[in-house]
Amino acid sequence: ARTVGEGGNLGFTQAARIEFGRRGGRINTDFIDNAGGVNTSDHEVNLKILFAPELRSGSIRPAARNKLIAGAADEVVRDVLDSNSDQALMISMDERRSRRDLAAFERCIDDVSQHFQIKRSDLHLPSVRAVERRIAEREGLSRPELATLSARVKMKLYEELLEDPAVEMEGLMPAVHNYFPDSLRKRFSNVIEGHDLRLEIALTRLTNRIVDHAGCTFFTEMASDTGASPRQTFKAYSLLSRSADLWHFKGALWELGWSLDIELIYESLLRVEAALRFGTRHLLEHWSEARITAALRDSLPWGKQIAELAGKMNTIVDPLSLQRVEAVAHEFTNAGMPRATALRLARLRHLPRGLVVLDLAERARKPAVDVAQEYFAVGRASGLFGLIRWIDDQQPDAYYDALAYRSLRRQLDHLLQQLVLKLIAMPGTPAEKLDQFGAAARAPDPATIGEDQLGPAALMVLAGQMRQAFGLDRA
C-alpha cells in the first residue's frame, strides 16, 4: 500500500503509522480520517441545543425543528468538508515547514509536553536527540506525528483562551453566527447569540481556523519571540489577515489547485503565511493590544494605508528587490498561475516591510512614501537586506544554530529600523550618509566572505559593530 485511509479506529498503531509515513507512505491518523463524523455529530448536538429554548417556550414544535435541521444538512456537510480540508492542508503545509525549520517544531513539542505533563514518548513524538538527528538529515515530522502535535496544540490553545478573563464575547459573536447554517442565521439570530455553548463554539472555531492556516508552531513562536498571549496573537493575526485581504487571497489560491500542480499551491500558501507570520510578529512587538483591538473594530483605514503603499511599490522599492519580485512572479506565471495572482504573491514578501514603513513614518512624522524610499535604499546600501536574505535562505543542520539565526534576523530587522530613523533626518543620499560612519557601517556581502565569518556568533559580533558605529542601542 502507498496510501492509507483509516475508516475505523486503530487500523494501524501510531508507531506503525509513523514508520509507514517516514518510509514515504501517505497516512494520517484514525482521528483525522474520522473527523468528519465527529464534526457532523457536534453540529447536530449544537443545533439541538440551539432550538431547546424555542421548544420549551412553545415557539417551535419538535416536528418543525427536525425539518429545519434536515433542511440545513447540505450546509452542515459543506462546513464539515471545509473543516476537514483545512485540517489536512495544515498537516501538508507543516510537513513542508518542518523539513525547513524543525527547530520551531522542537520548541512546540516541548511546550505541549510541559503543558499536559506528558512524556514525548507517550505521544509518540521524537525525543530531543531524535529531532537533532532529523535536523542534520533534513528530515521533518511525519503526518501522523503532526496530527498528534496539532491536536494537542489546539487543545492547549482552547484551554488557555477559555480560561483567559480578558477574552470578550462581543468580538467572538461573528464566529458563533458563522458556525450555524446560513438558512438559520437570520431567523434565529437572537437565539444563536444566547446559545449555551457560544463561547466554546467560537473558541473552537477560531482555534481551528488560525492553526489550520498558520501551522501548529505559530502560537509557540509568537509567545517565545514577543511574550504575547494566545488572545493577543489571535487578534494581531486576524487584523493583518483582514486588513491585507489575505483570507480571500488564500481561498483564491486554493481554488487554483484544481488546475495547477499541488506543490505550487503549497508553496504559494507557505509564502502567504510567512508574510503573515513576520507581520503578526511586528504588530505584537510594536502595537499595544488596545491599538490592535481598536483597529479590528474598524480595519478599513489601516487596510487602505497598506493597499496604497503596495500600489506604489514600483516607485519605492529598490531596483534589485523589484527584479527579485519580478523573477518570483515570472516563475509562478510560467507554472500556470494567472499573472496578477503571481505578482501579488511575489510582492507579499514585502508586506511586513510595508508595516514597518507605516510605523516608522508615524514616528518620523513624514509621508509613508518618503520613508519607504529611504527604508529600501538604506536596507540595500547598508548590506542589511543582503544579509537578512542570506539568513532566510539558511537551513542549519544544528538545533541551536537555527535558534541563533532566528534571533539574529530579528536583531538585524530592528537595527535597520533604528538606522532609517537616524539617517532620514540627515541630508544626502543613503550611501553618502553611511559613508560618514566608516567601514563598519556596512554589512559585508555574504557571497564575498568565508563561511567562518557567516556563523551565528560571527554575525552577532558584526551586528554589534554596526550598532556601535551608528551609536545605536541594542534591540
**What mean pLDDT do residues 420-449 have?**
90
Rounded Cα–Cα distance for residues 158 and 156 (Å):
5
Query: H/E element holding 250?
Result: helix 246-255
Q: What is the pLDDT of residue 1?
A: 82
Q: What is the pLDDT of residue 394?
A: 87
379 neighbors 373 (Cβ within 8 angstroms):
no
Whether residue 40 lies inside any domain: the answer is: yes
pLDDT tens per residue, range 20-29: 999 999 999 9
**What mean pLDDT do residues 72-93 have?**
96
Dig out the grid coordinates for 79 from the structure.
462546513
**71 and 202, same domain (yes or no):** yes
**408 and 320, same domain (yes or no):** no
- Which residue, 337, 364, 391, sits at the end of a domain? 364
**273 and 324, same domain (yes or no):** yes
pLDDT tens per residue, range 122-157: 999 999 999 999 999 999 999 999 999 999 999 999
Query: Which residues, in sequence order, are CB contacts of 321 under 8 Å at separation 6+?
Result: 350, 376, 380, 385
**What mean pLDDT do residues 258-268 have?**
94
Whether residue 291 lies inside any domain: the answer is: yes
**73 and 186, same domain (yes or no):** yes
Residue 250 burial (CB count, 10 A) = 18
**343 and 422, same domain (yes or no):** no
**What mean pLDDT do residues 105-123 have?**
97
Q: Categorize the per-residue pLDDT at 33 as very low, low, confident or very high, splitting at 50, 70 and 90.
A: very high
- Which residue, 197, 227, 257, sits at the end of a domain? 227
Q: Categorize the per-residue pLDDT at 474 as very low, low, confident or very high, splitting at 50, 70 and 90.
A: low
Lowest mean pLDDT among 89-103, 117-131, 338-352, 436-450: 436-450
**Mean pLDDT score of the chain:** 94
C-alpha pair distances (Å), 107 with each of 142, 154, 160, 226: 17, 15, 18, 15
**218 and 290, same domain (yes or no):** no
- Which residue, 184, 200, 227, sits at the end of a domain? 227
pLDDT tens per residue, range 197-223: 999 999 999 999 999 999 999 999 999
**257 and 352, same domain (yes or no):** yes
**328 and 475, same domain (yes or no):** no
Q: What is the pLDDT of residue 453?
A: 77
**322 and 278, same domain (yes or no):** yes
Whether residue 374 lies inside any domain: the answer is: no
**322 and 454, same domain (yes or no):** no
pLDDT tens per residue, range 386-397: 999 999 988 888
Residue span of the structural domain in which 338 resides: 244-364
Please say if the pLDDT value at position 475 is more than 70.
no
Please state, for a pLDDT cut of 90, what percent of the chain lies above it.
85
Q: Categorize the per-residue pLDDT at 229 as very low, low, confident or very high, splitting at 50, 70 and 90.
A: very high
Whether residue 371 lies inside any domain: the answer is: no
DSSP string, 93-154: HHHHHHHH-HHHHHHHHHHHHHHHT--TGGGT---HHHHHHHHHHT----HHHHHHHHHHHH
Whether residue 370 lies inside any domain: the answer is: no
Lowest mean pLDDT among 119-133, 204-218, 323-337, 451-465: 451-465
C-alpha pair distances (Å), 419 with each of 262, 373, 382, 424, 454: 41, 14, 9, 8, 22
Whether residue 206 lies inside any domain: the answer is: yes
Output the pTM of the full model. 0.93
Q: Categorize the per-residue pLDDT at 333 as very low, low, confident or very high, splitting at 50, 70 and 90.
A: very high
Whether residue 402 lies inside any domain: the answer is: yes
**176 and 252, same domain (yes or no):** no
Tell which wins on pLDDT, 212 or 447. Answer: 212
Whether residue 377 lies inside any domain: the answer is: no
**What mean pLDDT do residues 418-441 have?**
92
**250 and 209, same domain (yes or no):** no
473 neighbors 414 (Cβ within 8 angstroms):
no
Dig out the grid coordinates for 295 from the structure.
483597529
Domain count, the chain: 3
pLDDT tens per residue, range 45-71: 999 999 999 999 999 999 999 999 999
Q: Coil, strand or helix: which one is 68?
A: helix
